[in-house]
Structure 1
Amino acid sequence: MTSDATRDTGQEAVSHARRITTDLLRRVEDRLSSLLAAEREVWAEVHEGAVVPVDALAELMASGGKRIRPAFCVTGYLAAGGDPDAPGIVAAGAALEMLHISALVHDDVLDDSSRRRGLPTVHTKHAALHDSRGWQGESRRYGEGVAVLVGDLALVYSDALMTEAPRQVLPEWNRLRSEVMIGQYLDVHAAAEFSASPRSARLIARIKSGRYTIHRPLVVGAKAAGRDELAPVFEEYGEAVGEAFQLRDDLLDAFGDSTDTGKPTGLDFTQHKMTLLLGWAMQRDERVHGLITEPGHTPGEVRRRLVDTGVPADVERHIAGLVERGCKAIADAPIDQVWRGELADMARRAAYRSA
């Protein structure tokens, strides 16, 4: 009876934790929707064309997305004992998602990607509009110009949202934003150089994606709850799980199904991205470099060569090790067992997702 009662109590605690998390994420969603609706109303009164950038953000926001960054922020906050009724954490979660939207719009320009979440990317859509209307200038430059401005607008909104969060999170927020930009630069530079460098690939994976996806949102949540002492634990967990998250993204780009991912696959090949997958493969087989950089080769040829090197399986093992490392980091963290379990589950979902 005692063990059954304990198990029931534990299950009730998990259910309660998930209900609170779900409610906070719903409020994050509502905050994002209300902000964009209010902004549209303001700009509609200025000029009918002024709503276009706001509508572009609203369309991308409504098209889906996993809301991973708000989820880790909210979980870090609740694990740290934060008050779920306080409005500041909702604003912080919304700011993180808006920053992500900004990064996606700019990423699609940098990667020359035609689709995002199953829809035409912002620059693709507006380049096509330019063509169809017979407007002046180059359609590509117009589309990319619109996308740059739409992404910048999301960046402005993200900052406005974060001003509603507890002030103690701002240093972490500022660090997070600068890391995204520096990581993007390193990614662009590594693609241009395209020399085998697994060490650089891992660094880029952590800075460009892992930290702003998992590590920093967790710390923002903990700091919002006044638990600064959790930052080292969340950093160790977030560095490991964040890298695993990005490595899964690399594998999905190489071997995934665009129907599931909602975007073209093989972009890392066409854009010469120096991922760990390609870095290891190029070290193991010098022909991989030519397959990617020389014209006339198909993505299918590249994929077959990568499989022949055995590197995809090695990356999978590396991901498993990172997940294990992340889970160990929080095993003795000074938070309730319920939240240790939730973070372990989140680590596995982030690393083994299919889209």
Structure 2
Amino acid sequence: MPSHASALVDREDLRQQVDGRLRSVLAEQADVLARISTDAEPLVDAWTQMLVGGKRLRAAFAYWSWRAHGGRPGTAEATALVGVGAALELFQAAALFHDDVMDRSDTRRGIPTAHRTFAARHRDSGWSGDADQFGLSSAILLGDLSLVASEDEFLRAVHEMPSAQTDPARRLFTQMRTEVTVGQYLDMHAQMLPWTDDFDADERRAREVVRSKSARYSVESPILLGAALAGATTRQMEVCSAVGLPLGEAFQLRDDLLGAFGDPATTGKPAGDDLREGKRTLLVVRAMRALDPGARTRLASLLGAPDLTAADVDEMQQTIRATGAPEEVETLIETLSDSALSALDASGLDGSAAETLTALALAAVQRAA
């Protein structure tokens, strides 16, 4: 994350407070698991690794939305919002553990993914059975642990707040988790479908995946959660969606470009990672639409193919660039961002907090990792 974005998350000591809360959760979980069995210790190590170094953008969107809707620092409610931010980070960790399994990813943030780490532990220890299956199963269970912890942390954070604020927030938190789970399925389902000439349907599916799997839980839901916990009106919540959904789409479309063309040294993933995984992103759909049948067949044969070489990835990148699809996605990112920022500018929210929210929005779509 760019240094200016990191500085935004550091405002009002938010990152340090969220990180502190996460350390407390992990310490509590370490005690629980140790009482069950000392053999569970590697789970805590892997869980800690996943939670270290996150951008904390979701926590920041929730907190600064709460501030922009009248929340005040240094209060008990501010402490509650830190807990909500930690719950969002725990939920993201759960989603990432599961996502890495489904995508068969080798690395995240430049280090081996959890399922690869546990598979290596199995092999190095000379255990019996299938090492890869052990790794996959361990990562799935880690995701489940983090999902349960996210629920516990959310409920603990808001339990003393008025029900008029916490009831809608709880519904939002539940809805967010359902949307991400369904979005994961839709993403997987889209990759299984054969390519046809129905690019309108492909684009519809790609946009549905963007909205359900990422846009809402990355940006819209955190902004709505912060607003709800500040007691926002129905109209204010509508404005939050008008800001959060297009901004979340732009956020994920930026991820799609980075997944195809990002610098591995910055993203922490192999070059062309989304192309290696065969992701049916809007970028790829737009490229396929622009290609002639022969080139389309060639690109389809490479997307997600096992044992791709660096030359194969480079060929896909060059093919997609030549179609102009990256520029089309950049234009869409700009259009969506402008829509979100216009809605935020017209919202009439509290000045300095709204300025921070605006700066966070820009950082989310202008990042390089």
TM-score w.r.t. the length of structure 2 is 0.87
What is the distance in 1 between the residues matched to 2:41 and 2:12? 31
**Deviation of 1:20 (Å):** 8.5
- In structure 2, what is the equivalent of residue 280 of structure 1? 286
TM-aligned CA distance change 1:176 to 1:19, over 3 Å: closer
Which aligned pairs between 1:106-145 and structure 2 lie closer than 5 A? 106-145=98-137
**Deviation of 1:288 (Å):** 3.6
- In structure 2, what is the equivalent of residue 41 of structure 1? 31
- In structure 2, what is the equivalent of residue 104 of structure 1? 96
> Does the Cα contact within 8 Å between 1:40 and 1:55 map onto a contact in 2?
no
Give the 3-state SS of the residue equivalent to 1:279 in structure 2: helix
- In structure 2, what is the equivalent of residue 227 of structure 1? 232
The reply to whether residue 239 of structure 1 matches residue 245 of structure 2 is yes
**Deviation of 1:134 (Å):** 1.8
The reply to whether residue 76 of structure 1 matches residue 82 of structure 2 is no
TM-aligned CA distance change 1:19 to 1:25, over 3 Å: closer
The reply to whether residue 22 of structure 1 matches residue 30 of structure 2 is no
- In structure 2, what is the equivalent of residue 311 of structure 1? 325
> Does the Cα contact within 8 Å between 1:272 and 1:293 map onto a contact in 2?
no
- In structure 2, what is the equivalent of residue 67 of structure 1? 56
Give the 3-state SS of the residue equivalent to 1:264 in structure 2: coil
- In structure 2, what is the equivalent of residue 347 of structure 1? 361
Question: What per-residue deviation string (whole Å, max 9, x for no partner) do you get for residues 124-144 of structure 1?
Answer: 001111111221111111000
Q: Which amino acid aligns with 1:175?
A: Q
- In structure 2, what is the equivalent of residue 291 of structure 1? 299
Gaps of 5+ in 2: 1-6
Q: Which amino acid aligns with 1:42?
A: V
Q: Which amino acid aligns with 2:241?
A: E
What is the distance in 2 between the residues matched to 1:201 and 1:267? 17
Which aligned pairs between 1:155-166 and structure 2 lie closer than 5 A? 155-164=147-156, 165=158, 166=161
Choose the corresponding residue for 2:80, options 88, 93, 100.
88
What is the distance in 1 between the residues matched to 2:256 and 2:8? 29
TM-aligned CA distance change 1:194 to 1:202, over 3 Å: farther
- In structure 1, what is the equivalent of residue 21 of structure 2? 31
Residue range with higher mean Cα deviation, 215-224 or 74-83 = 74-83
Question: What per-residue deviation string (whole Å, max 9, x for no partner) do you get for residues 199-226 of structure 1?
Answer: 2111211110010000000010011111
> Does the Cα contact within 8 Å between 2:58 and 2:88 map onto a contact in 1?
yes
What is the distance in 2 between the residues matched to 1:293 and 1:206? 27
Choose the corresponding residue for 1:209, options 180, 189, 214.
214
Q: Which amino acid aligns with 1:313?
A: E
What is the distance in 2 between the residues matched to 1:315 and 1:122? 32
What is the distance in 2 between the residues matched to 1:140 and 1:74? 40
Q: Which amino acid aligns with 1:41?
A: D
What is the distance in 1 between the residues matched to 2:340 and 2:267? 25
Query: Which structure's relative contact order is higher, taking Cα pairs within 8 Å and 6+ residues apart?
Result: 2
**Deviation of 1:289 (Å):** 4.6
What is the distance in 2 between the residues matched to 1:19 and 1:344? 12
Question: What per-residue deviation string (whole Å, max 9, x for no partner) do you get for residues 214-264 of structure 1?
Answer: 000001001111114321111011111100110110100111111101122
Q: Which amino acid aligns with 2:126?
A: G
> Does the Cα contact within 8 Å between 1:21 and 1:74 map onto a contact in 2?
no
TM-score w.r.t. the length of structure 1 is 0.91
Q: Which amino acid aligns with 1:31?
A: R
What is the distance in 2 between the residues matched to 1:203 and 1:112? 22
Corresponding residue pairs, total:
338
Question: What per-residue deviation string (whole Å, max 9, x for no partner) do you get for residues 155-197 of structure 1?
Answer: 0000000102243210010010000001101000001115341
Give the 3-state SS of the residue equivalent to 2:36 in structure 1: coil
> Does the Cα contact within 8 Å between 1:21 and 1:75 map onto a contact in 2?
no
> Does the Cα contact within 8 Å between 1:28 and 1:91 map onto a contact in 2?
yes
What is the distance in 1 between the residues matched to 2:122 and 2:297? 37
> Does the Cα contact within 8 Å between 2:259 and 2:274 map onto a contact in 1?
yes
Question: What per-residue deviation string (whole Å, max 9, x for no partner) do you get for residues 91-146 of structure 1?
Answer: 11110000000111111111111111111100000111111122111111100000
CA RMSD after TM alignment: 1.8
**Deviation of 1:148 (Å):** 0.1
What is the distance in 2 between the residues matched to 1:67 and 1:289? 40
Q: Which amino acid aligns with 1:176?
A: M
Gaps of 5+ in 1: 1-16
> Does the Cα contact within 8 Å between 2:216 and 2:248 map onto a contact in 1?
yes
**Deviation of 1:19 (Å):** 9.2
- In structure 1, what is the equivalent of residue 47 of structure 2? 57
What is the distance in 1 between the residues matched to 2:344 and 2:134? 48
